[in-house]
A and B are shown apart, each in its own frame.
Chain A
Amino acid sequence: MTAFPLTDSTPPTLTPDELSRYSRHLLLPEIGLDGQNALRRSRVLLIGAGGLGSPAALYLAAAGVGTLGLVDFDTVDLSNLQRQVLHGTRDVGRHKLASARDRIADINPGVLVESFPVRLSAGNALQILAGFDVVIDGTDNFATRYLVNDACVLLGLPNVYGSIFRFDGQASVFAAPHGPCYRCLYRQPPPAGMVPSCAEGGVLGVLPGLVGTIQATEAIKLLTGAGTTLIGRLLLVDALHWRQRVVQVARDPQCPACGTREIRDLAESIAHCETATTGDVDAALAAVPAIDPTALRDRWAAGHDIRLLDVREPHEWAIARIDGAQLIPLGELDRRLDELPRDRDIVVHCKMGGRSAEAVRRLRAAGFRNVTNLTGGILRWSREVDPTVPTY
């Protein structure tokens, strides 16, 4: 387990250029020469070089962190650029880590970048995380978040957490000595499909900038010993109405990761994400009947009478729609059931298939028998059936 702040007996070794580069830090009594040296000795691992990882990487590189590890398996997509400021237009199609390495080298050539162009898994997480001082969780899915948390608990590494959705952000520091971990806050992830992703629900581009810089701030405070970190506290930000709140997070003695220590390896970490809870969640987890876009096209072409229900929001409908579809946003579905035929087949779609799966469950619970989900939503319809339908 790393002792913070990072200190050793090494005398100050900043070069004249470094003294100039970091002079605004050196003027802060809370950081100063000792803090800057601690940053230079530090090894920070960023999991995800996307929305949260971008500002975190930029500011940690500028701040003079000695080694930045980056884990990401993805390539830069045009739809990333609205928020992932580590990458530029000319990087579209490149591997994110190649793009990140170039950008970081430009900001601060003194930073050593270690690239891990893989998907973090139970098989590789401990090996990748070991040897770093601080881990920053900038992932975009629950499975990896629990994996990161449990690996940090097992290795005794602080997990600087950030998470975003639409206009809301969360940030904290988990798995620090004597502090709570992510499982103390949320013992298990929600069932698949219950919480939409940013790809489905959208996110304000600035928001990961806000939350990712909070994560970078917390990492710098941990490494230098400056100030008071978010250990034991959760910062909640609503950027739309500018409401913020810092709430308590207590260590849970029954937490299977940091409390009872039932999770002794990452295979058990995964098992503890899959535990079924209540009937309601079981119902939400249940797979729903589905149809592929090409199969729907063929059935329509063969003359089948099928109602296509679109459960996206009106602003998404304005961007792209499938001819002949009927729009009822998911949030209005329960009170508009009488607008749907009970004697016809209904196929439900959304952007990618998550919200429509929820709609299928609700319709079947309401007595509609012949309801199926369009696999992959309008994005897959555009890809496989009608490329004139715009993607977003």
Chain B
Amino acid sequence: MPTINLPSVLTPFADGHHTVAATGQTVGEALDDLARRYPSLAPRLRDERGAPYPFVTIYLNDEDIRLLRGFETRVEPDDDVSVVPAVAGG
């Protein structure tokens, strides 16, 4: 199962977990699985139509999924999916 990495700003919505093993053949399916398990996380990953937010970038390993096939990008069991929302602290 691919691993989804969550930053500190999102862990309160995933019962404190920084990493979650998710099922799915694509990045979108893995995020669907994550959203099913943590419903309050769902609106922080994608908008209500399932489109990406302009303030959340998602990486498959080290690559921005926008440069691949977006949420349709296929994931392998040992892949890392990182959700990287904008933060502004300084």
Contact = CB atoms under 8 A, between A and B. Distances in A.
Contact of B90 (A208, A241, A248, A331): A208
A248 B67 contact: yes
Given A142-B88, A249-B64, A280 B12 contact: no
A51 B8 contact: no
Central interface residue in A50, A195, A249, A333, by most chain B CB within 10 Å: A195
B90 A243 contact: no
User: Chain B interface: which size bin?
Assistant: 20 to 34
Nearest to B88: A142
A280 B43 contact: yes
Contact of A168 (B9, B15, B59, B63): B9
A163 B64 contact: no
A281 B47 CA distance: 7
Q: How large is the interface on A (under 10, 10 to 19, 20 to 34, 35 or more residues)?
A: 35 or more
Contact of A331 (B12, B49, B85): B12
B54 A139 contact: no
Interface in A144-196: 145, 162-168, 170, 185-190, 194-196
A248 B85 contact: no
A162 B87 CA distance: 10
A171 to B, nearest CB: 12
Interface of A: 48, 50-53, 137-142, 145, 162-168, 170, 185-190, 194-198, 201, 203, 208, 234, 236, 238, 240-241, 243, 245-250, 277-281, 284, 313, 329-331, 333-334, 362
B47 A203 contact: no
Contacts of B67: 248, 250
Nearest to A189: B55
A195 B85 contact: yes
Interface string B1-20: 00001011100110100100
B62 A168 contact: no
Contacts, number: 131
A163 B7 contact: no
Given A168-B7, A247-B59, A247-B62, A329 B49 contact: no
Most chain A C-beta atoms within 10 Å of own C-beta, residue among B15, B48, B54, B86: B86
Most-contacted residue by chain A among B13, B62, B84, B90 (CB, 10 A) = B90
Contact of A236 (B39, B82, B88): B82
5 nearest A-B residue pairs (beta carbon): A166-B8, A187-B54, A278-B47, A198-B89, A331-B12
A196 B55 contact: no
A52 to B, nearest CB: 5
B90 A48 contact: yes
Contacts of B59: 245, 247
Given A246-B62, A277-B47, A279-B47, A139 B88 contact: yes
B26 interface: no
B57 A197 contact: no
Q: Which of B43, B53, B62, B63 has the most CB of A within 10 A?
A: B53
Contacts of B64: 247-250
Contact of A165 (B9, B15, B62): B9
A196 B9 contact: yes
A249 B64 CA distance: 7
A44 B30 CA distance: 44
Contacts of B53: 190, 277-278, 281
A19 to B, nearest CB: 35
A201 B54 CA distance: 22
